[in-house]
Each structure stands twice: as C-alpha cells, then as structure tokens.
Amino acid sequence: MHWKLLEVIFDKGILMKGSLESKIALVTGGASGIGRATALAFAREGAKVVIADIQVEGGQKTVSLIEAAGGKALFVTCDVSKAAEVETLIAKCVEVYGRLDCAFNNAGILGEMGTTVDCTEENFDRIMNGNLKSIWLCMKYEIPQMLKQGRGVIVNAGSNAGMRGVPELPAYSASKGGVVILTRTAALEYAKSGIRINAVNPGLILTPMVQRQIAGNSEAVDAFIAESPNGRIGEPEEVAEVVVWLCTDAASLVTGHLMAVDGGLLA
C-alpha cells in the first residue's frame, strides 16, 4: 500500500487497536517516509506515539494524521546526533506518557554520493553522526528507562547497504554496517534484562529521500529493479509492518536479529 493511500485511510478515522494497545512508542525521523508509515502503524495497533524529527512541519503532519483518526501522538523537535537533545527527548516521553515501551530509531541521512576517495571528511563525519552516532545516543538514553521498567523493545534502522558493499556510498554503507554490529552488541548486553533489540535492513524503498535521489535517473531505477529478485521497489509500509511486528509479543524470542526487508536482494 502506498503511503499516500495510508494517509487517506487515517484521515478517514480508520484506526484499529490491536497488538500494541496502551504501549508508548517512539519514532525518530517520523516526519516522512518509513518513519511516518511506522508511526501510523504503531497508532493503528493502539500505541501512543512520540514522533521526533528536525522537520517540524512534517512531524506535526504525522501527529495530525494520527489524532484525526482518534489516536494520541506528540511531536518533539530533536536532532538525534546531539546527546542533550536525545536525553531531553526521552525525558519528554516519560514526562508525558510515564514510560517508553517501543523505540524505532529510524532517523538518518544518505549524504553525498561519491567513491571512497572522493568522499569528503565533512560528508563522512556528517553521515556517521546522522546514522551511527545517533543510533548509539538513542539507545544510550532509551535503555536506562527500559531497565527501570524491566522490559522494552528497540528496533534500529539499518540498511541493505550495511550488509554488502555499495559503490559510491562508502560512508553510508559503513555507517549502516556499524548499526548492525551496534545492534547485536546491545542485544547481547541487555537480553537478560527484558530488553529486545533488533534491526531492520531495508533495500530500496520509495521514500521522499529516495524519490529525490532517483529523480530523472530512470536507468538507475531500471537497473535496481532488474537486480531485485521480486522485481520492484519497496514501499514504506512494508518496512513499517516489520518494525511493528518486532515490537509485539509475537516476536518475544527475537533479539539481535537483522531483518532484511529487501525483496530477496541479499539472498
């Protein structure tokens, strides 16, 4: 289902409470794309949702979609690459809702494309801060709250690019590869404390960021489709459903897992 259609469904007030009823869920990068789709899916399942992003208008739009359907949501402006802002974000979640049950650490950037040699230091640092340091900071402040509660679930946004080499995306691929190992490490550290930590690794998903990247480059799109076993680009909702499932009790034995959502590309 295309995310535009999902927005229409929520605008009409179709909100089904289900597997996450009464839970508190956090989505970083929730202003658009996979983040927005996941926030809507969390709300559909009955969770109260905190949306964090630096894009204020988009974040508030996500909140309005949820509220229009009868759900509850809160937007917090947050740059997840900055420790003080992340600490404030988690404190706000607890202040408003009293706890934090699920967190989808999704915010990230693509950065500039170029070979390993052509990648600038500024670009490399920016991508590492936005994609890897940010995940670490989010877990750094989410986990202590979940330890107090005795349980919690975290899903980190990895990427297919973090599981294989992608030419002209050295910093992005390295940052997502770092997310993979960081996820596994944290999952082992807190498995006995009732906290499950997993990662989703999407392939090419039709988000606004990807749409901007592939605009006017039909040859690149055709090449990806030809390479993908299922012969198409993914939709944000397809990733969102996986994230939500990982946060439910149906996935109670799943931790330290790297869930590929890529139409079979890695296989």
pLDDT digits (tens, 9 = 90+) for 66-119: 999 899 999 999 999 999 999 999 999 999 999 999 999 999 999 999 999 999
73 or 214: which carries more pLDDT confidence?
Answer: 73
249 or 3: which carries more pLDDT confidence?
Answer: 249
| Mean pLDDT score of the chain | 91
Q: Mean per-residue pLDDT for 121-134? A: 98
Query: Looking at this protein, which amino acid is placed at residue 145?
Result: Q
Q: Mean per-residue pLDDT for 179-191? A: 98
User: What per-residue confidence (pLDDT) applies to 251?
Assistant: 97
- pLDDT, tens only, 8-33: 444 444 444 589 999 999 999 999 99
How much of the chain exceeds pLDDT 70, in percent?
89
Residue 60, pLDDT > 60, answer: yes
User: What per-residue confidence (pLDDT) applies to 200?
Assistant: 98
Query: pTM of this prediction?
Result: 0.91
User: What per-residue confidence (pLDDT) applies to 213?
Assistant: 64
Partnered with residue 75 across adjacent β-strands are: 51
Which residue intervals of the chain are DSSP H helices? 3-11, 33-44, 56-68, 83-97, 121-128, 134-149, 170-190, 208-214, 218-227, 236-247
Q: Does domain 3-11+19-256 have CATH number 3.40.50.720?
A: yes
| Other residues' Cβ atoms within 10 Å of the Cβ of residue 41 | 26
The DSSP annotation for 106-146 comes to: ----------TTT--HHHHHHHHIIIIIHHHHHHHHHHHHH
CA 21, distance to chain mean position in Å, is 20
Q: Is 190 a catalytic residue?
A: no
DSSP annotation of 195:
E
Check 97, 141, 172, 190 and give the catalytic one: 172
Taking the CA atoms of residue 50, residue 56, residue 57 and residue 62 in that order, the dihedral angle to the nearest 10 degrees is: -10
User: What per-residue confidence (pLDDT) applies to 12?
Assistant: 44
Ranges of each domain in the chain? 3-11+19-256
